[in-house]
A and B are shown apart, each in its own frame.
Chain A
Amino acid sequence: MEQVAGQAVPPKIEVRKEKTLNQSYWKRYGVFYLMMAPALIVLIINNYIPMVGSLIAFKSMTYASPSFFQNFVDSPWIGWKNFEFLFNSSDAWLITRNTLAYNAVFIVLNLVVGVALALMFHNLRNKKLAKFYQTTMFLPYFLSMIIVAYLAYGFLNPDIGVMNKLILPWFGNEEGVMWYSDPKWWPLILPIVNTWKFIGYYAVFYLAAIIGIDNEYYEAAHIDGATRWRQVWTITLPLIKPVIIILTLLQIGRIFYADFGLFFQVTQNAGALYEKTLIIDTYVFQGFRATGDIGMSSAAGLYQAVVGFVLVFASNLIVRRISKEDALF
């Protein structure tokens, strides 16, 4: 055990050791570099080459060669032209507005509904039932967006869906709504679907924080005669405030990135809905897959990446101030 305690070598000695025994450093730690090599290769191909490649936003891409790398080198630089086109079109404003507005609504709903669910859940007396509720509440999180699109279609199918055939006639609306061609309703539908799918996930985070609160606080409050309702406001909520702030800040950091699947699959990528459903991510995809407009698409992609970078960075700085452990860096 003595030796073990002595193992915490002060850094100074380590530096000297390393200088004199450079060979033994490689002998001991060289294998580390080998261990990291596979992941590094993945990162280079998957992340770092595309990062450099995002400079195509400043190029007019040509396709003389079958190789992207060759084309990248050969294509002429055109400066900010792609960005000028993008920001002179009405699209830039539309996709930015939609992305920010939807994400803002999602963040608020995730916070309010998530905390409310966690609080109610915590107060359940019957733990067996609680387990059951949790299982069902969490189920949507595990379904792929394709399946969610199926489920949504079951309700929104204009001819025979549940909304038009069962629910709306109940309220006296026999004509129904053309859900996949009338954009009006989607600012309501998408938040509902998003909350339905992800709220179990957020509730679990808040629940973990609530469970972590020491029971002594409640005991003391009880002795002082505080009602359960009052305890929620004076003990539970203040004590989980850091978790609430951190989770929300992390979401705000990603406010420029939207859930591609939600906006692409659940809307079935219906063009008639774009006014209310097109977001940056789907716009980029649509741009180069459907219209083949690589220039504008990559400009929009880089615009998202740079603003996204600033937001992630800034939100993390704030998170770091509140709680160092929860910051991403």
Chain B
Amino acid sequence: MATAAVNKKKFDVNRISGGANFAINVFFWIYSALCIIPLLLVISVSFSDETSVLVGGYRFWPEKWSLESYKFLVSDYMVIVKSYGISIFVTVVGTIAAMLIMTLYAYPISRRDFKHRNLFAFIMFFTILFNSGLVPFYLVYKQGLHVDDTLFVLMFPLFVQAFFVFVIRTFFQNQIPPELLESARMDGAGELRTFFQIVLPLSLPVLASVGLLCTLNYWNDWFLSLLFISDDGPVSIQFRMYKTLLDIQYLSSNTQAYSAIMQANPNFKVPSETARMAMGVVGIGPIIFVYPFLQRYFVAGLTVGAVKG
């Protein structure tokens, strides 16, 4: 995208008129606002006073500021810290393992002199074509391997994604000159050494892009938790957000349960509406802070995928 900007500057006969430019800018301002406003709503509610929210509804700017909701979350902060820990562990370890496993597979099938490369490429490719379906997938992990409620089951199913493997393979094929590999061999380097010391360092762009997409997949994943994780298991931050959305909703929509709590302790007031949104903010946090810095690589990664061969 940077190069495009340079190209345009060089040649400007096609500049659109000032009026049109203004109209497009207005459009994009509105569109950008639409992308950000829902987030602002969640943030605003989380900093609002519970009663003012219950009376006046969610507002884009708090009617009455309050930190009650965050105090409520902090009162049980270990839960959130633990969930963060689980999410971070799964994301970091999962991504590193996945990248290692996928690059190790992508390299042999990128080598034109490897006679079985088509066979192994097809074994990988067939997983894109035919999706086994959720039920047997679930049964294999749950009743076959009995790995539910483990960190393993949150990482393992995402170790190999065929699409990423082919993106990496294409990069190896197109960007690593075969002459280089040949000369490494002449100098007596084994295939493993060539791979780790020559191929991987030369592939940093694609590794960064795919690695970031992997990180995002792990961080944002809740589906594996939904399938395999019970309340006593390792609850990641996404899964905790999911549970909070459902639980507090249960509390406020089920009047009987609510009045039971109120009877037991008349002074007790769960800031349920604002606390739920505070939980949302806690979960969104890291992505928002990291995203602007990494967005460039993400875009690169996506467009790498677009031209895979």
Residues of chain A touching chain B, judged by Cβ–Cβ distance below 8 Å, are 3-4, 7, 9, 14, 18, 28-29, 31-33, 35-36, 38-40, 42-43, 45-47, 49-54, 56, 66-69, 71, 117, 120-121, 123-127, 129-130, 132-140, 142-147, 149-155, 157, 159-162, 164-166, 196, 200-201, 204-205, 207-208, 211, 215, 218-219, 222, 228, 231, 243, 257, 260-261, 265, 268, 281, 284-285, 288, 294, 297-298, 301-302, 304-305, 308-309, 312-313, 324-326, 328-329
Are A204 and B303 within 8 A (Cβ)? yes
**Chain B min CB distance to A322 (Å):** 14
Give chain B's interface residue range (CB within 8 Å of chain A): 35 or more
Enumerate chain A residues within 8 angstroms of B72, measured Cβ to Cβ.
Answer: none
Our pick among B104, B108, B299 for the contact of A38 (Cβ within 8 Å) is B104
Q: For window 141-190 of chain B, which residues contact chain A by CB distance below 8 Å? A: 142-146, 156-157, 159-160, 165-166, 178-179, 182-183, 186, 190
- The segment from B74-82, B202-210, B241-249, B256-264 found at the interface with A is B241-249
Given contacts A43-B123, A144-B238, contact A32 B108 (CB under 8 A): yes
Are A301 and B283 within 8 A (Cβ)? no
Are B104 and A325 within 8 A (Cβ)? no
Q: For window 93-119 of chain B, which residues contact chain A by CB distance below 8 Å? A: 100-102, 104-105, 107-109, 111, 113-115
Our pick among B36, B145, B221 for the contact of A136 (Cβ within 8 Å) is B36
Enumerate chain B residues within 8 angstroms of A151, measured Cβ to Cβ.
Answer: 38-39, 41-42
Are A40 and B4 within 8 A (Cβ)? no
Q: For window 34-63 of chain B, which residues contact chain A by CB distance below 8 Å? A: 34-36, 38-39, 41-42, 45, 53-54, 56-60
Given contacts A136-B32, A294-B135, A304-B133, contact A215 B42 (CB under 8 A): no
What does DSSP make chain A's interface, helix, strand, loop or mixed?
Answer: helix
Are B35 and A32 within 8 A (Cβ)? no
User: CB of B65 within 8 A of chain A?
Assistant: no
Given contacts A35-B192, A142-B298, A154-B58, contact A260 B223 (CB under 8 A): yes
Are A162 and B57 within 8 A (Cβ)? yes
Distance of A325 Cα from B145 Cα, bound (Å): 39
Given contacts A31-B191, A36-B105, A298-B133, contact A219 B144 (CB under 8 A): no
**Chain B min CB distance to A232 (Å):** 10
Enumerate chain B residues within 8 angstroms of A31, measured Cβ to Cβ.
Answer: 190-192
Enumerate chain B residues within 8 angstroms of A268, measured Cβ to Cβ.
Answer: 245-246, 249
Enumerate chain A residues within 8 angstroms of B15, measured Cβ to Cβ.
Answer: 125
Distance of A121 Cα from B31 Cα, bound (Å): 12
Are B284 and A196 within 8 A (Cβ)? no
Distance of A53 Cα from B131 Cα, bound (Å): 12
Are B307 and A140 within 8 A (Cβ)? no
Our pick among A38, A130, A326 for the contact of B101 (Cβ within 8 Å) is A38
Are A39 and B140 within 8 A (Cβ)? no
